[in-house]
Chain A
């Protein structure tokens, strides 16, 4: 089959209920990246001129950059001309009932305790009665509107709130920040935009919406959250259900900004396809996430549970610009089989009395490699900056690896920076001890891992934590025996 036909074949089995125009061929950009492709993307999305200019500038920068080699991950070279940079939002093939869904997937749903309705939605089963989600969505949007909160897709924001987007996009993660951020800036597909006005505390987790709209934001996701003075938002990203995606490369950018006295809590569960147990397939996840504590007394807290992807390269960071600002990073990263994760954070202290706290828990199983990489930087002006870092690694078996690279740069003598690290191992002897007390080894591993991660899990919003815990247990399956 020729490539053209293949594309058409793929298209005809997809469903375009997202209101895209009828000319099918134009919904798909040819493979590869060029100025023309970027113009195509921008015009498809009906973007204003400034957005296009911005993308083109990013593209020019990207062309001058080299792919980073320093992360402790190994993978074959990515051919950036072999990627399709624009496709109308993918719809999974619509199925008639759950009977048509991969039984493995259903089993996982069950273990996660996901409701039948949601199972159908996630696996693309046609739902004629969508009472649940529709009503939830409407009441949700009504509440947000009353509070003056803007929460919509990035594409909508670029069209409807152009000034806000223009003002903030690229201010936390500049175009030139890194190779993948530059690529994302040039070709980003969609993502979420949120603006919380002065003094408004968002009364609900900004997740319900996301889960309702979970249908793929594409591989180059772009998210921008701004919380104005005295505001508060808690944002949940991701989904605990298994996310299968043929797109091998994911390069998202998330920028968040907290003004004076504002607080943002950003929680992620990342469960992209990790590849099979022999290391075949799986998503490469190269993400740039950064928060700017712009105002005084502002606070940004990242919590992440990473169990998916073949390769993860991710360092949610905080720029603590405001005086008395606080940055937090709580992370659990599990790697199994042949997964590789290089993740951590950067805490950049600029404001006086700024504080940061890093709690990283890495779990390596099988033949996987798990790396923590963290930077704590205290600028000259940051009087009385404080950092505490705790990096713990847990190993299972003899073939996996855990690595810790803490970088500390301090230019102010009043700073206090503390770093603690531990490595422990779930040995055969520990498993036997548990078994001798009636606890089988799989449960023993789950118990030990849950204990190990508790401090991080406790930071997740309640509704997320339960699922995340189950997810954790699922990702440990087959780790013993």
Chain B
């Protein structure tokens, strides 16, 4: 589904992704871990087309389509979803309006008609239940005045509404209390199908107790330096990153 090859990208003259490779197939969950500042969020931003990055090499194909050449909204319309590490607030735009606009733009790109109001409300109710969102949420402005945990849950709600092919969750677990963590993980698990895939960026093994990944990758200095199954996450939790850094530097 996703093929990233030798991706090199930087910002403000500084190279951050230094030949990143990753292949994700339908039905898989990949976890990416790694020390602060190694380029995990940068990867999500570059894949989804945030402005300001210089891409010097490599490619990223989603179902055979080169993402790096598309506008950010086109990538989203193709089914790429990024759950932001720091979701922004959009004053004056209600969650309902925002979600409807989003769904309709994606439908439009596929030549489909806008969603009907009853259909939309039904879907919204169902998905709000999934992430245990309060009712007044519908009319509130996107993320405005939301607590940190509510913002993260809102990202999952949006993901559930849009039903993307490939979702990148950037530290969605950070700042969540135990209940919220369970809610978020539950949400993701319920959305897993053989046709979609997830990349989960996290610092904590505990999320991976709930969402069991097929692969765990360690990212360091702009690259994946080690891959394994979920036991790798346990090992990292126990030993930290120093041994990996040493391994890399020994090369």
Contact = CB atoms under 8 A, between A and B. Distances in A.
Interface of A: 422, 424, 427-430, 432-441, 443, 447-448, 451-452, 454
A433 B91 CA distance: 13
Interface string B150-176: 000000001000100000000000000
B92 A451 contact: yes
B98 A437 contact: yes
Interface string B181-207: 000000000000000000000000000
A360 to B, nearest CB: 14
B98 A438 contact: no
Nearest to A441: B73
Given A437-B162, A452-B92, 16 more contacts: A427-B88, A429-B88, A432-B51, A433-B90, A434-B98, A435-B72, A435-B73, A436-B49, A437-B158, A438-B73, A438-B109, A440-B105, A441-B73, A447-B101, A451-B90, A451-B91
A447 B93 contact: yes
Nearest to B109: A438
Interface stretch (B14-22, B76-84, B128-136): B76-84
Contacts of B141: 451
Contacts of A430: 88, 90
A401 B84 CA distance: 30
B97 A432 contact: no
Contacts of B162: 437-438
B94 A451 contact: yes
B90 A448 contact: yes
B88 A452 contact: no
A442 B76 CA distance: 16
Contacts of A451: 90-94, 97, 141
Contacts of B158: 437
Contacts of B102: 437-439
Nearest to A361: B92
23 contacts: A428-B51, A432-B50, A433-B84, A433-B88, A434-B98, A435-B49, A435-B71, A436-B49, A436-B81, A437-B76, A437-B98, A438-B73, A438-B76, A438-B102, A438-B162, A440-B71, A440-B73, A443-B101, A447-B97, A451-B90, A451-B94, A451-B97, A454-B92
Nearest to B86: A429
B88 A438 contact: no
A424 B89 CA distance: 10
Nearest to B81: A436
Interface in B35-57: 48-51
B74 to A, nearest CB: 9
B105 A443 contact: yes
Contacts of B33: none
A427 B86 CA distance: 14
Contacts of B71: 435, 440
Contacts of A434: 90, 98
B236 to A, nearest CB: 29
Interface in B95-118: 97-98, 101-102, 105-106, 109
Q: A interface, by DSSP: helix, strand, loop or mixed?
A: helix
A438 B105 contact: yes
A432 B72 contact: yes
A447 B72 CA distance: 18
Contacts of A440: 71, 73, 105
B228 interface: no
Contacts of A436: 48-49, 72-73, 75-76, 81-82, 84
B101 A439 contact: yes
Q: Which 3 A-B pairs have the closest CB atoms?
A: A451-B92, A435-B72, A437-B102
Nearest to A424: B91
Contacts of A452: 91-92
Nearest to B76: A438
B93 A448 contact: yes
B88 A439 contact: no
Interface string B115-130: 0000000000000000
Given A424-B91, A448-B92, A452-B91, A435 B76 contact: yes
B145 interface: no
A454 B109 CA distance: 27
A441 B73 CA distance: 8
B111 to A, nearest CB: 14
B93 to A, nearest CB: 4
A434 B105 CA distance: 11
A441 B76 CA distance: 13
Contacts of A427: 88
B148 interface: no
Nearest to A449: B92
B218 to A, nearest CB: 26
Contacts of B106: 438
A429 B87 CA distance: 9
Nearest to A454: B92
A437 B75 CA distance: 9
A434 B158 CA distance: 12
Contacts of B91: 422, 424, 448, 451-452
Contacts of B48: 436
Nearest to B89: A430
A448 B142 CA distance: 11
B202 to A, nearest CB: 20
A430 to B, nearest CB: 5
Contacts of A429: 88
Q: Which of B82, B87, B90, B141 has the most CB of A within 10 A?
A: B90
Interface centre among A429, A438, A454, by most chain B C-beta atoms within 10 angstroms, is: A438
A435 B98 CA distance: 11
Contacts of A435: 49, 71-73, 76
Contacts of B101: 437, 439, 443, 447
